[in-house]
Structure 1
Amino acid sequence: MENKSTILLEKTIQGHHLILRAPKPSDAVHVAEYWFGPASAHLLAFTDVTAFGTKEEVLAQTEKFFASISQQGPWSTLVMDVDGRPTGNVLINGLVPEEEALVHVHIWDPTLRRMGIASLLARDVFAYFLDAFKLKRLILQVQTENTPVIRLMESLGLQSEGTYFGKAAPICKEGNYKRFVIPRSQ
């Protein structure tokens, strides 16, 4: 049973119980498996996972980071549980205090992608990060080939600021990305 103080949100989607919560050290194994496991092939097309180090290093660093997170928040990483099973995370980085941060969504379990989890949580997650870190905006940079995420952003009423060639983050390979800005008013 989760500590209620670490749960940000509980919802039901298509008969599945969904919790958005603070990360805990045991979640690190899922992060390492996501980036280095057999289902990580989709990530290799646009990221250089070796920039993280080895799977063992990622596991140790992530466990340590998650163990250091305050139970009271604010949390720069949130974990999604579906039916009691950790299935993904949403995080911010590149934080410019009281200005902006980059936001990323990762569904660890490939069988749970494209079933509406991100759609259901997007507004709540964006509002949480904007409020908790007193940000004016969040930035989401999406590969132009990632049409499901682009359609999600557009369904939320967000329009791309355009397409650019470059890197969306230090671990990303160069490519074409669409940049979406999520302002505080969203």
Structure 2
Amino acid sequence: MMACTMSACHSFTSSSLPVHMMCHEQSISFQRRLSTSSLYLFRELISNDEEDLRADIAVIREQVGLDEFLKVDDRLCVIKLYAPFCKACKAFGIKFRKLASEKGDRINAAREIIRSGKARFGEIEYSSNVKLCRALGIKKFPSVLIYRGGDDGGEKLTEIECKQKTAIEDIIAEMDQLLLPTGGNC
């Protein structure tokens, strides 16, 4: 039996055609076995170690997506609004991901929440959500909106323009202030 090599499998001469067909059938059989067993293999490879987790930042599209994001629970919802062409937005995005990793939910490779945070984080990209950004009254990028989530669709608490170097500190201070217990509610 001839081994399936690149030269044998991909040189289409009349004598190599049976070899190519055999290689093709083996490849299809292997792909079918892989698709049924890969889920199980993948599950075994997923790590829930803290250093392997990443921040759960929801990508919000359209008003319906924002409404659904806010209705999940009553935690603070910190939403970054950015433009992909903005250099300040790119620099702020790195800091925002770090903040989301520290204060928000952490997920594994299967997108399962492993650690719940004090707040939930999301982002809205301007180019594909112009109407939503205008409806929210956003005039400068990057900006952060902080909502209190809930079944009623959430309540907008504050808006922070994030061009200054202290933007993350301002967001943390605002979050800490909003997380203080008031009348038994957190």
* TM value normalised by structure 2: 0.28
Larger helix proportion of the pair: 2
Greater strand proportion = 1
Larger radius of gyration: 2
